Amino acid sequence: MPTPQPHPPPASATPPRASAAMAISPCLQPPGAVVEEEVEESHEPAAGGVRERVTMASQLSDHQDEGVHARTMSTHARTISSVSGVGSELNDESGKPIWKNRVESWKEKKKEKKASAKKAAAKAQAPPVEEQIMDEKDLTDAYEPLSRIIPISKNKLTPYRAVIIMRLVVLGLFFHYRITNPVYSAFGLWMTSVICEIWFGFSWILDQFPKWCPINRETYVDRLIARYGDGEDSGLAPVDFFVSTVDPLKEPPLITANTVLSILAVDYPVEKISCYVSDDGSAMLTFESLAETAEFARRWVPFCKKYSIEPRAPEFYFSQKIDYLKDKIHPSFVKERRAMKRDYEEYKVRINALVAKAQKTPEEGWIMQDGTPWPGNNPRDHPGMIQVFLGETGARDFDGNELPRLVYVSREKRPGYQHHKKAGAMNALVRVSAVLTNAPYILNLDCDHYVNNSKAVREAMCFMMDPSVGRDVCYVQFPQRFDGIDRSDRYANRNVVFFDVNMKGLDGLQGPVYVGTGCCFYRQALYGYGPPSLPALPKSSVCSWCCCCCPKKKAEKSEKEMHRDSRREDLESAIFNLREIDNYDEYERSMLISQMSFEKSFGLSSVFIESTLMENGGVPESANPSTLIKEAIHVISCGYEEKTEWGKEIGWIYGSVTEDILTGFKMHCRGWRSIYCMPIRPAFKGSAPINLSDRLHQVLRWALGSVEIFLSRHCPLWYGYGGGRLKWLQRLSYINTIVYPFTSLPLIAYCCLPAICLLTGKFIIPTLSNAATIWFLGLFISIIVTSVLELRWSGIGIEDWWRNEQFWVIGGVSAHLFAVFQGILKMIAGLDTNFTVTAKATDDTEFGELYVFKWTTVLIPPTSILVLNLVGVVAGFSDALNSGYESWGPLFGKVFFAMWVIMHLYPFLKGLMGRQNRTPTIVVLWSVLLASVFSLLWVKIDPFIGSSETTTTNSCANFDC
């Protein structure tokens, strides 16, 4: 094995072909004890109120000669660019904080930008002769909007809204009838049904009214190019991609590698793209596979761009069953495609060899090629690791062109620290990227979501870079689309109703919710800043405390008041609107910035703090490029976030496993709005868990996150009212997002009612009068018409709508129920319950995983309900046969509701049986036992009948076999 090199080879050097061995060189991060000491010292206040800490540069310089702390990760002598970093000294020689000096330079730059903007405006008014002779169409395109709103036709939307109002009126009349006409012979059953129906009505209002103003959007990528140009001199904004992964054995490295390759090959200026891969499991397998991916990208990226390949993830491109020669008339295409496919197959063999070797970890842990242990052998106790694989100083592609930057990041982890799972990893990426590249926009993807449309970034920039649209836009959300799902989509994995109906409705309000992946963020919004339209603070509030003649105590009190006002406690924003500082003179501005205590909000990193003030991104000029990696290592230390606003008001918000919903909610509360972008060719595609058990556990995790938010201080029922920046219909949608798991309780009761009525001979509805019949028919007709009109304006199919309705019941009586109890136990009692999954069958055929059955506790409630209703139907018909002709009329009403339950649970029943009808005995035994005990109790005890009626109605409460 080649020995590690302290410096990367020149960019022109061609690295040899890498082997599949697991040996890796040491990482840039020194031993963990040094990091912990630095973190502890960095938080100790010094005398005089000025912080002092031992910098990483001083720590590292003492050992530089020994070669312990300056070693560089390199694999198989690849051409890998590496930069080192410096600590964040807080004071200069005069004792003045350095970052304040940088703020002063930042203010001067702001003035220069304003002056240059005025010159540019004057120049635009009198263009030179060369510009005057530009094509008229190009000029028109350059100054036209980059996107437009396509409202839903009034012929479709007006009847839809009218039916919603009509249904609301009918619903009120229906509830009036139900409440004023109790069924005394089955009072308990009637009361239960009415409570459930009222909750369903409330849930329908929360779900329906946020769809009041749905819209469609259209982008014009050609106008974006005409306005900002393309190529090396393009004015397009840089974008940092975030890819997160944890366990390479559960999240296959080949899938993650395809995601990375699709990002590196995206149709966007190369120098404006950076890809950060977060390895939160500190796995050497992930690092090695990423090194192999960086090597393969040198061949794959130029091939994609030369022939405009779609999609640019090789696994999915080569698996397409289409005519790949269509529209590819270049004579060398066939030859190069075959060669590229062979290269990819060899690349897959190397990745699979790494995976096979990683199946069994050596007792002594993984060893790097220089003989030292891999720093991440203990995923819960390891130093921070960063490696820059590709970039400006790294290896170029085989055509000699520059490649986008590719960075491996594994944040530091130590026992005793709360790391906050994915949200903490994303916040670490925010800080690392701010130090190394600081692109003004961030696009995050899950490791299994690849770029399906190479122009997806340009689609997002049509909104973000359009001054008439993007001023108050915090993020652009793309819909999730999936591969590997059968046409019938039995378990509603595509979530078509949510992505094509609900999200379009929210786009007409304040914007779609953030769904965790496929989202392009404005970096300043992640920092907790308010949008430009946020009202500025009154200037008098600054003047009241910045006067030099004020006593110190009064000044401190005024500072606290200013700090309180600027933070806007009603919205609990991170700091303040960045543009507010333009309203003050130089002295007031410097005092305001000083009082805002950036260090208390963002942490002790002067480089990072300065980057937060750069609205248009870019690495601070005052930062030393040769010392940036050490600063990046510092900002991912496990103690960096202590006593800061990270996870509270800045970055991804902590407190829920669905940090995406919480993060988007906080941004909307601050007054930001979001955009929903649906390109004709899906921007991103991912992998969905298509077997029943995995799908239910996915839904369980989402529902658990909603319950956690409901029980937290960020609950939309009471959070964020003071500022009045969250629209009411938008608030209804967020309330619906966090209360929907609780619908499982009335849903389970309502699904059991038909079986109970069949077993006891009772019914929840009295004999219908003419008026009652009208209300019942009106309710059913309004439900049907609402659905039909919704399908009409949204464009989705009836099969997708029906699958969504079915899985609403399936998930409601299983995963949502467990999420409610698990969330309550976790938030109140501190107990974290896990429902494990064990595989029971496998199938290698296409869509074979759809029929794989895995035992899990979540399956018991819906199975019990199915058995109970089937027993109830049999018992009902048996009782009708023995009771005579007059009992058949009420029987059909009861059987109708029982069949409604069975039809909605039918996909669950098919999934339960599996392809070979091999349902685990444990599921059958548990479900039959619960259903039998429940049925016998109801038949024998009949708790909803008073004691005075027991003797007279006892014969009606039983059924003959």
Among 172, 237, 664, 180, which Cα is nearest to 437's?
A: 237
Whole-angstrom CA distances from 439 to 109, 641, 873 are: 18, 22, 63
What's the burial of 587, exposed, middle or buried (CB within 10 Å: 0-12/13-18/19+)? exposed
β-bridge mates for residue 686, sequence order: 449, 482
Indicate the burial class of 408 (C-beta count within 10 angstroms; 0-12, 13-18, 19 or more).
buried
Distance between alpha carbon 307 and the CA centroid of its chain, in Å?
Answer: 32
Angle between helices 692-710 and 798-812 (to 10 degrees): 70
Residue 504, annotated as binding a ligand: no
Just list the catalytic residues.
Answer: 280, 660
Q: Is the peptide bond before 311 cis (omega within 30 degrees of 0)?
A: yes
* Residue 140 neighbours by CB under 8 Å, 6+ apart: none
Question: Which helix (H) or strand (E) segment is 686 a member of?
Answer: strand 684-687
Q: Looking up tokens 């029971």, which residue turns up?
A: 840
Q: Is 499 left (phi over 0), alpha (psi -120 to 50) or beta?
A: alpha
Tokens of 96: 């003045």
Q: Which residues pair with 276 in a beta bridge?
A: 242, 407
**Strand 838-839 relative to strand 854-855, pairing:** antiparallel
422 is in an annotated binding site: yes
3-state secondary structure of 855: strand
> Going by C-beta distance under 8 Å and a sequence separation of 6 or more, which residues neighbour residue 644?
600, 601, 602, 603, 650
Residue whose pair of structure tokens reads 């548990």 in the numeric block: 926
472 is in an annotated binding site: no
Q: Are strands 239-245 and 273-279 parallel, antiparallel or unpaired?
A: parallel
CA distance 562 to 539: 11
Q: Tell me, what DSSP letter sits at residue 675? A: E
Provide the 10 A C-beta neighbour count for residue 553: 8
Is 250 annotated as belonging to a binding site?
Answer: yes
Are 813 and 748 spatial neighbours (Cβ–Cβ below 8 Å)? yes
| Cα distance from N-terminal residue to C-terminal residue, the chain | 79
Q: For residue 850, which of 920, 907, 923, 798 has the smallest C-alpha distance? A: 907
Spell out the residues 6+ positions from residue 271 whose beta carbon is closer than 8 angstroms to its own: 232, 238, 392, 402, 404
**754: amino acid identity, one letter:** P
Give the position of tokens 């024998």.
Answer: 940
d(CA 296, CA 841): 35
108 is in an annotated binding site: no
For every residue of 519-542, DSSP letters joined together read EEEEHHHHTTPPPTTSPPPPTHHH
The dihedrals phi and psi of 443, each to the nearest 5 degrees, come to -120, 115
At 721 the three-state DSSP class reads: coil
Longest dimension (CA), the chain: 104
Measured between alpha carbons, how far is 888 from 869 in angstroms, rounded to an integer? 18
Which three-class secondary structure state does DSSP give residue 389? Answer: strand
Exposure of 845 in the CB half-sphere (CA atoms within 13 A): 7
The H-assigned helical ranges of 43-186 are: 56-62, 98-125, 129-132, 136-143, 154-180
Three-state DSSP class for residue 442: strand
Q: What is the 3-state secondary structure (H, E, C) of 258-319?
A: HHHHHHHCCCCCHHHEEEEEEECCCCHHHHHHHHHHHHHHHHHHHHHHHHCCCCCCHHHHHC
How is residue 239 written in tokens? 């974008």
Q: Which residues make up each annotated binding site for Mn(2+)? A: 422, 446
- List the binding residues for UDP-alpha-D-glucose: 244, 250-251, 280, 421
